[in-house]
Amino acid sequence: MTRILIVGHKGQLGRLLFSYPSEHERLGMDLPEYDITDTKATQYALREMRPQIVINTAAFTQVDAAEEHYDLAYRINAHAAGALARFCEELGASLYHISTNEVFDGQRRDQPYDEWDQPDNTHGSAYARSKLAGENAVRFYHSRARIIRISWLFAPQGNNFPAKIVAAADKYGALRVVADEFGVPTYGPDLARAIYQLIDLKAPPGIYHLVNGEKTSRYAFAQEILRVTGREHVPITPISHTEWPRPAQPPLHAVLVNRAAAALGVRLRDWQEALADWVATTGEVHPRP
Ligand SMILES: NC(=O)c1ccc[n+]([C@@H]2O[C@H](COP(=O)([O-])OP(=O)(O)OC[C@H]3O[C@@H](n4cnc5c(N)ncnc54)[C@H](OP(=O)(O)O)[C@@H]3O)[C@@H](O)[C@H]2O)c1
């Protein structure tokens, strides 16, 4: 049995990792009891908890708000992530750090990004830049870190894209959805399983992309959400990202492919299948039975 600390264990991914059925002992660290930007307190807590593995899911994840609160986003996503990596290295603990497809600028349209591609998001959002700085800090301080990049995370609980589409469909009765932003959805329960598989396999240090299948657009994803939740009667109009102005512009083609995990035999099913599971778990069907 391994003692695993889930940092951000109350969040969308963290809670799935915290409650995932496994023999491993689980510990949690999240606000308000623990604030990872308080590095002294975090170092003390880690020394007390003595985890063998740390999975860091904690982040400033409000992408639009990060534009206005860049300092805080940077402190959490970069500085605190780096400090955590340093303390893990000191303790001899393995570190799994969760990152994002937004470390890529999304300009490459003809093929997905492999783990070995060089990230660059100099002109990306504040959130994206803080996350890339976090990856760099983690690698600087921890010689054997695993960095796990995911995209478009959705889970049975949390304010994610499927939940927002369902809520907007019910509220407005019609939708306009961006059709020129592409990515790959990642289903939290599948991701949690894959992370534990990597842990159990003692996957070598490095970068792992973990997403469910192949690319889709926000529009096609929304269409499928309406279909599988019995809301295909809701009209949906494809629009350009320029018609949906946001404080933080996401990369348009930051499509990941899972090469490193697949090479170890760790596979995630296609997002369509995972979405059907999301519907079964949340009961988000219309009309409700
Ligand atoms: N959601 C996505 O679509 C997506 C896509 C790509 C990558 N990711 C990455 O995946 C990871 C998990 O995302 P998620 O959606 O599960 O995030 P989430 O639901 O926002 O969970 C993050 C957790 O970390 C906590 N936290 C924030 N600041 C903290 C601090 N200073 N000290 C301690 N805990 C703190 C949050 O607490 P509060 O809620 O109280 O702030 C929350 O419980 C993040 O690294 C994110 O960048 C997410």
For residue range 146-201, list pLDDT tens digits in order: 999 999 999 999 999 999 999 999 999 999 999 999 999 999 999 999 999 999 99
Q: Which atom of ligand 1 is nearest to the CA of 56?
A: 45
Measure 59 CA to ligand 1 centroid, in angstroms.
4
Measure 64 CA to ligand 1 centroid, in angstroms.
14
- Ligand 1 pocket, residue 72 CB under 6 Å: no
pLDDT in tens, 164-178: 999 999 999 999 999
| Distance (Å, whole) CA 57 – CA 282 | 23
- Ligand 1 pocket, residue 152 CB under 6 Å: yes
Mutational pocket test of ligand 1: of 5, 9, 29, 30, the residue with most ligand atoms within 8 Å of the beta carbon: 30
Given a cut of 90, whether residue 90 has pLDDT beyond it is yes
- Ligand 1 pocket, residue 84 CB under 6 Å: no
| Distance (Å, whole) CA 206 – CA 266 | 15
Instruction: Looking at 50-160, list the stretches that DSSP marks H as alpha helix, in order from N- to C-terminal side.
Output: 65-68, 70-74, 81-91, 126-141
What is the CATH code of the structural domain delimited by 3-158+184-213+256-269?
3.40.50.720
Q: Which atom of ligand 1 is nearest to the CA of 35?
A: 32
| Distance (Å, whole) CA 130 – CA 249 | 14
Q: Pick the residue with more confidence: 82 or 284? A: 82
Tell whether pTM > 0.85: yes
| Average pLDDT, integer, range 90-109 | 97
Active site positions, annotated: 127
- Point out which residues pair with 217 in neighbouring strands: 182
41: pLDDT confidence band, cut at 50, 70 and 90? very high
- Ligand 1 pocket, residue 35 CB under 6 Å: yes
Half-sphere exposure of 167 (CA within 13 A, CB side): 8
Mutational pocket test of ligand 1: of 57, 77, 157, the residue with most ligand atoms within 8 Å of the beta carbon: 57
Helix %, strand %, coil % for the chain, to 5? 40, 20, 40
Closest CA to 128 of 58, 59, 210, 63: 63
Do residues 152 and 102 touch, judged by C-beta distance below 8 A? no
* Domains of the chain, residue spans: 3-158+184-213+256-269
Measure 58 CA to ligand 1 centroid, in angstroms.
4
- Ligand 1 pocket, residue 70 CB under 6 Å: no
- Ligand 1 pocket, residue 12 CB under 6 Å: yes
Q: Which atom of ligand 1 is nearest to the CA of 10?
A: 43
Given a cut of 90, whether residue 288 has pLDDT beyond it is no
**How confident is the model at residue 289, as a pLDDT?**
58
- Ligand 1 pocket, residue 229 CB under 6 Å: no
Q: Whose CA is nearest to atom 32 of ligand 1?
A: 35
